Structure 1
Amino acid sequence: MNLLKKLIRRLIVGKEQEFAFKKVQIDTFCIPNIKKSSMYIHVPFCKSMCPYCPYNRVQYDEKLIAGYFNALSEEIDLYSKKLGKIEISSIYIGGGTPTNAIDELIVIIEKIKDKFYVEGDIAIETTVEDATNETLLKLKLAGINMISIGIQSFNEKYLRILGRNYSGKDIENAIENTKKHEFDNVNIDIMFAFPGQTDEEILDDIKRAKQTNADQITTYPLFTFPYSTIGTYLKIKKLKMPDFIDRKSFYYLIYDYFKTHNYKTVSVWSFKKSNTEKKYSSVTRDYYIGLGAGAASRIGKMFYFNTFSISEYNNRLLNEKKLPVSVNMSITDKLSKIYWFYWKLYETRFSEHDFNSIADRKMKFIVKIFYCLKLIKKQEGIYKMTKRGAFWIHFFQNHFMLEYINKVWSIMKNNKYPEKIKF
């Protein structure tokens, strides 16, 4: 497997390209001038700490809330001073559980609208417990038009493994309640590939998900990052995760079910009702400004992370009045093309015209290989991943991209300003 990873990396990136994040000297750190960007806001607080979650989060504590949101406000001011009143084409709010601090978050959203031109969609993550009428109404009034509820499973056996204290009926009520508020897209997250999970259990979950009438259903396997609680738990209990054959079987089962019921594939994980206009997506933005502890930004030819430490994030902004950037990677034109190509494959479709305008020789060669292997097809000027192709992108993400993410996050969770993170 390691040899295969090296061969694929060399084919895509090349031997000469250094692939590393380096510590930022903040006094000489300069953000390029831009006119337009998406934005990500990270709210790390959780009232219920899910054991599988790999993201930068902490236990909800009212004593931490005010300081963190004051720091967020200062970060907005610093970007506003450096960039001016640029256009923000979309906002994504993740965590943690952003709705655990709904009132403070709404103040931040209003400040962003004051400092920038917000033109596009505003999407947020929430939980079954937070999908109350009061919270949902506040979200709508703040201009949030897309929402994702992390339900994970209707099966109470797996909900207990995940540390969730609600029932399948609670999930159905939360989704019904959310749908009443007429968001442009209500997405729900479903996990699969639990240890010992059967085809019948997966099918029951996705059938019940469909019956809720959610606009979009995102299904993804249980990720077992080594540093997450559940990663440690599985190691201690010596529970066996499903092997490659089983994961492929599970993925095909899910894919075939949604295709049979006329859902549209909008990513390797996500399926949208054919009559839903807008898709819910958390990751496929070309350029974005990341606000909050551990947030990533991609601006111009820079890709950088804020420090993961909440105390250091607050200190850098509130006491030093400087951006909390920890590490940065320079993005070459070649890496920029690879970034575009990867996320188009992830979305499972892209236009032939767009591809030809950006593709280099290697990218065209990869598409030819995909075509020969029946991983991709072309219809009316659009390249589309086949079921087989979508699975292999899913597999690639699990065994390559998540390994890189795990390395970055593992190091940055333990080091406020690492000197170098090399891949």
Structure 2
Amino acid sequence: MKGIYIHIPFCHQICHYCDFNKVFFKNQPVDEYIEAIGKEFAIMSSEGVSFETVETVFLGGGTPTSLSERQLHRLLEIINKYVDVDALREFTTEANPDELTYEKLIVLKNGGVKRLSIGVQSFDNELLEKIGRTHSADDAARVIQDARKAGFDNISIDLIYGLPGQTIEQWQDTLDKATNLGLEHYSGYSLIVEPKTVFYNLMNKGKLPLPGEDAEAEMLEMLIAHMEENGRQQYEISNFAMPGYESVHNLLYWENESYAGIGAGAHGFINGQRYSNIGPIRQYMATLEEEKRPILHTHEVTEVEAMEEQMFLGLRKIEGVSAKHFEEKFGRALNDVYGDTLQTLINQGLIEQANHRFKLTQTGLFRGNEVFQQFLT
């Protein structure tokens, strides 16, 4: 097992586009939940799950930085008990700009966190308000300055394009302000309107003025070009980094490696089995009080499914899928399994082959979901 994902489901504000497992922070058993995470670690250890080979830890949510300094300290204390944090290649936490104080940054740094992933989304204050964010562009700039002062030298920010009412000019301004910060890593995602969100309800009422597919494609082109011009290499469809600053944790997902999911609603993949934890917080905690792992659902991944995942996850990476690695992993030649599909996609100009690797073409980058679907039975 190479990674651990830990879910912190608390938020002070729910964004209009978010469908992750989360609840408003107020009146929640936050301290008890943190202790429950420690109990889940302990039960997994007692059942023979080893954390000795872990290379990366990721705190996600919800919003990990919604926790107080004291709560963050306790959470990190628990993690340090079960994981050799000093030996990790990467230890990341997600963060919101208006919640990440200098004092919290010091707590995170002292607790072994090496990398920040900050949900900036836009540098346009009007758009930030429209999407339900509570920070401003100035907050984002301030927190990055504080993070540098606290000693963080590996910082990423998330940006979203295709937002309601967003113009090409607004997106260009956000890209300019983002790269002027000189960060090591950037993620740029197109808005996906998910069920059970504020945006989904507005869309169903015809009250969500999205830019449209052509504008969205232009924004993606702008993102790729702007990052290249500023020395940030695209290594995955939505991710760009200075050399050596690619996200180790996210690459673990795209390379289909094993990882533990800890926390309410977390997902994991251990020993060929995918599992999801119970989502409701109190039910998650009650199950742990019974000395049982809070698993809601498990699925043994078949060889066919594993090969499919290897393809559609691996093709997200700009370097693509290695035919040699595929054969080493599954004992079957890639062309024997997917030769016809690969040739069809090559003929359509969506993937290309070079140095025993198959990867998306420039056209394929814009039609990735269409490509991935070809590997699903």
Which interval holds the TM-score relative to the shorter structure? 0.7 to 0.9
Between 85-94 and 375-384, the greater mean CA deviation after superposition: 375-384
Q: Shift of residue 116 of structure 1?
A: 4.2
Q: Shift of residue 380 of structure 1?
A: 4.7
Residue number in structure 2 paired with 1:369: 344
What percentage of residue pairs aligned between the two structures are identical? 25
Counterpart Cα distance in 1 of 2:264 and 2:39: 13
Residue number in structure 1 paired with 2:55: 89
Partner SS, residue 220 of structure 1? strand
Mapping for residues 44-63 of structure 1, pairs under 5 Å: 44-61=9-26, 63=28
Q: Match for 2:196: what amino acid?
A: Y
Counterpart Cα distance in 1 of 2:83 and 2:247: 24
**Conserved? CA contact 1:131–1:177, under 8 Å:** no
Q: Shift of residue 360 of structure 1?
A: 5.9
Counterpart Cα distance in 2 of 1:257 and 1:277: 18
Identify the match of residue 313 of structure 2 among 315, 332, 343.
343
Counterpart Cα distance in 2 of 1:221 and 1:277: 22
TM-score, scaled relative to structure 1: 0.79
Q: Shift of residue 272 of structure 1?
A: 1.1
Q: Match for 1:192: what amino acid?
A: Y
Partner SS, residue 374 of structure 1? coil
Identify the match of residue 294 of structure 1 among 257, 265, 278.
265
State the number of aligned residues. Answer: 365
Partner SS, residue 148 of structure 1? strand
**Conserved? CA contact 2:56–2:249, under 8 Å:** no
Indicate how the Cα distance of structure 1 residues 186 and 301 shifts in structure 2: closer, same or farther if over 3 A, else same.
same
**Conserved? CA contact 1:298–1:304, under 8 Å:** yes
Residue number in structure 2 paired with 1:227: 196
Indicate how the Cα distance of structure 1 residues 134 and 210 shifts in structure 2: closer, same or farther if over 3 A, else same.
same
Residue number in structure 2 paired with 1:109: 76
Indicate how the Cα distance of structure 1 residues 281 and 114 shifts in structure 2: closer, same or farther if over 3 A, else same.
closer
Matched, 1:333 2:303: yes
Identify the match of residue 131 of structure 2 among 138, 162, 180.
162
Identify the match of residue 141 of structure 2 among 172, 197, 204.
172
Counterpart Cα distance in 1 of 2:49 and 2:195: 41
Q: Shift of residue 352 of structure 1?
A: 4.3
Q: Shift of residue 106 of structure 1?
A: 3.5
Counterpart Cα distance in 2 of 1:182 and 1:400: 45
Q: Match for 2:33: what amino acid?
A: Y
**Conserved? CA contact 2:162–2:212, under 8 Å:** no
Indicate how the Cα distance of structure 1 residues 73 and 210 shifts in structure 2: closer, same or farther if over 3 A, else same.
same
Partner SS, residue 155 of structure 2? strand
**Conserved? CA contact 1:52–1:162, under 8 Å:** yes
Alpha-carbon deviations, 1:359-398, whole Å to 9, x = none? 363434333333333333445555443322222225668x
Q: Shift of residue 270 of structure 1?
A: 1.0
Indicate how the Cα distance of structure 1 residues 246 and 61 shifts in structure 2: closer, same or farther if over 3 A, else same.
same
Counterpart Cα distance in 1 of 2:17 and 2:248: 22
Identify the match of residue 265 of structure 1 among 228, 234, 244.
234
Residue number in structure 1 paired with 2:120: 151
Indicate how the Cα distance of structure 1 residues 79 and 65 shifts in structure 2: closer, same or farther if over 3 A, else same.
same
Q: Match for 1:186: what amino acid?
A: I
Between 181-190 and 380-389, the greater mean CA deviation after superposition: 380-389
Q: Shift of residue 137 of structure 1?
A: 1.1
Q: Shift of residue 78 of structure 1?
A: 0.4
Alpha-carbon deviations, 1:179-218, whole Å to 9, x = none? 3334342110111101232222211111111011111111
Partner SS, residue 117 of structure 2? strand
Matched, 1:393 2:368: yes
**Conserved? CA contact 2:5–2:59, under 8 Å:** yes
Counterpart Cα distance in 1 of 2:65 and 2:230: 32
**Conserved? CA contact 2:259–2:270, under 8 Å:** yes
Q: Match for 2:208: what amino acid?
A: L
Residue number in structure 1 paired with 2:45: 80
Between 253-262 and 263-272, the greater mean CA deviation after superposition: 253-262
Partner SS, residue 94 of structure 1? strand
Q: Match for 2:66: what amino acid?
A: N
Q: Match for 2:303: what amino acid?
A: D
In the alignment, structure 1 segments of 5+ residues that lack a partner are 1-35, 405-422
Between 85-94 and 143-152, the greater mean CA deviation after superposition: 85-94
Q: Match for 1:306: what amino acid?
A: N
Residue number in structure 1 paired with 2:247: 279
TM-score, scaled relative to structure 2: 0.88
Q: Shift of residue 38 of structure 1?
A: 1.3
Matched, 1:131 2:129: no
RMSD, matched Cα: 2.6
Partner SS, residue 294 of structure 1? coil
- Give the 4+ runs in structure 1 shifted more than 6 A: none
Q: Match for 1:300: what amino acid?
A: N
**Conserved? CA contact 1:294–1:307, under 8 Å:** yes
